[in-house]
């Protein structure tokens, strides 16, 4: 009986493994974990999740084109709102959508899921020479992004190597998504005062325009709660060093795919809003 069960289960597992690989369900970007970025996609990789393709360029940006400084670049910096994730193809993501709207500029995006403002600032500081001359840098931030920088925690969230079994990886990632691991001490990203670092970056990139776009989650938008009100007295301090931009009348509840992330229509709407912000 056990032998018969084994002869049935093993072929089914093999078929499931093959199906998961063909569908690309475990085909997600591989990251590097460190104590500066927390985690960041490895350079120069691409793949396909179901029907949705994704590309990472040599600067680790979620962009299908290579980054070159021609003094007309727009660089988006953010978390999963900008990264896009599995539900969106490369061309549906905010950076690619914005690129189609720009007439004399090229859009790029550097982001990862659960990145905070400080993770993004660390990337900019780490790559100052490469991005010097960039025309505009836009940080797309929500109310959770002003906290401590995010650190790497587990392979399910941000794998640092290709999984041996795509089936097992998929089961862990999509059916048991909670990371229970503590961040190893050598991978903890140190916290700091981001206004001080931002001023240093702004000084180094003196010709670059900096915009912070305040992105509301679904409950905040439903309740008409602006991030300006959540930031309270610190707004003036932030406004000293970068432009603050939030919504006008260009957003809708139907643009959310869940409690915070934009769907394809939302990503397109966000690109339109950012394009308008660039014209201010």
The pLDDT value recorded for residue 39 is 97
Between the alpha carbon of residue 111 and those of residues 220, 258, 280, the distances in Å are 22, 19, 24
Q: Which residues face 33 on adjacent strands? A: 39
Predicted confidence (pLDDT) at residue 232 exceeds the cutoff of 70: no
The pLDDT value recorded for residue 170 is 87
The pLDDT value recorded for residue 113 is 93
The pLDDT value recorded for residue 129 is 94
pLDDT over 90 for what percent of the chain? 59
CB atoms inside a 10 Å sphere around CB 274: 25
Predicted confidence (pLDDT) at residue 248 exceeds the cutoff of 70: no
142 touches 80 (CB < 8 A): no
Q: Which residues face 140 on adjacent strands? A: 213
How many angstroms separate the CA atoms of 239 and 145, rounded?
Answer: 17
Q: Which residues face 214 on adjacent strands? A: 141
Between the alpha carbon of residue 244 and those of residues 19, 39, 63, 78, 238, the distances in Å are 47, 27, 25, 15, 8
The pLDDT value recorded for residue 117 is 93
Predicted confidence (pLDDT) at residue 144 exceeds the cutoff of 80: yes
Mean pLDDT (whole number) for 170-198? 85
Burial 168-187 (b: 16+ CB within 10 A, else e): ebbbbbeeeeeeeeebeeee
Q: Which pLDDT tens digit goes with each residue over 193-206?
A: 888 888 899 999 99
Mean pLDDT (whole number) for 89-100? 96
What pTM did the predictor assign? Answer: 0.91
Mean pLDDT (whole number) for 93-119? 95
Q: Which fold would CATH assign to domain 34-151+189-279?
A: Rossmann fold (3.40.50)
Q: Map out the domains of the chain as residue ranges.
A: 34-151+189-279
Residue-by-residue DSSP string for 105-140: -EEEEEE-TT--HHHHHHHHHHTHHHHTT-SEEEEE
Mean pLDDT (whole number) for 226-245? 69
Structure tokens at 143: 């109310």
235: confidence class by pLDDT, cuts 50, 70, 90: low
Tokens 């940080």 map to which residue? 139
177: confidence class by pLDDT, cuts 50, 70, 90: low
Predicted confidence (pLDDT) at residue 9 exceeds the cutoff of 60: yes
Predicted confidence (pLDDT) at residue 149 exceeds the cutoff of 80: yes
Least confident of 123-127, 130-134, 222-226: 222-226
How large is the greatest C-alpha to C-alpha distance in the chain, in angstroms?
Answer: 74
């Amino acid at each position: 009986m056990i032998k018969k069960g084994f002869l049935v289960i093993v072929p089914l597992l093999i078929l499931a493994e093959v199906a998961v690989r063909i569908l690309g369900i475990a085909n997600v970007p591989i990251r590097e974990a460190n104590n500066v970025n927390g985690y960041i996609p490895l350079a120069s990789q691409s793949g396909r999740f179901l029907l949705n393709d994704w590309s990472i360029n040599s600067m680790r940006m979620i962009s299908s084109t290579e980054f070159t400084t021609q003094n007309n670049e727009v660089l988006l910096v953010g978390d999963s709102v900008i990264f896009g994730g599995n539900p969106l193809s490369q061309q549906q993501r905010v950076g690619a959508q914005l690129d189609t709207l720009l007439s004399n500029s090229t859009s790029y995006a550097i982001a990862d899921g659960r990145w905070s403002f400080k993770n993004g600032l660390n990337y900019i500081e780490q790559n100052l020479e490469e991005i010097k001359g960039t025309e505009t840098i836009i940080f797309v931030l929500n109310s959770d992004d002003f906290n401590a920088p995010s650190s790497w925690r587990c392979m399910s969230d941000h794998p640092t190597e290709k999984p041996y079994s795509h089936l097992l990886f998929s089961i862990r990632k999509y059916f048991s998504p909670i990371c229970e691991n503590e961040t190893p001490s050598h991978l903890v990203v140190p916290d700091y005062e981001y206004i001080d670092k931002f001023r240093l970056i702004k000084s180094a990139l003196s010709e670059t325009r900096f915009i912070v776009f305040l992105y509301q989650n679904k409950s905040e938008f439903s309740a008409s709660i602006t991030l300006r009100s959540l930031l309270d007295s610190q707004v003036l301090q932030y406004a000293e060093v970068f432009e603050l931009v939030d919504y006008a009348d260009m957003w809708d509840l139907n643009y959310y795919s869940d409690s915070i992330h934009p769907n394809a229509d939302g990503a397109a709407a966000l690109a339109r809003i950012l394009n308008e912000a660039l014209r201010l």
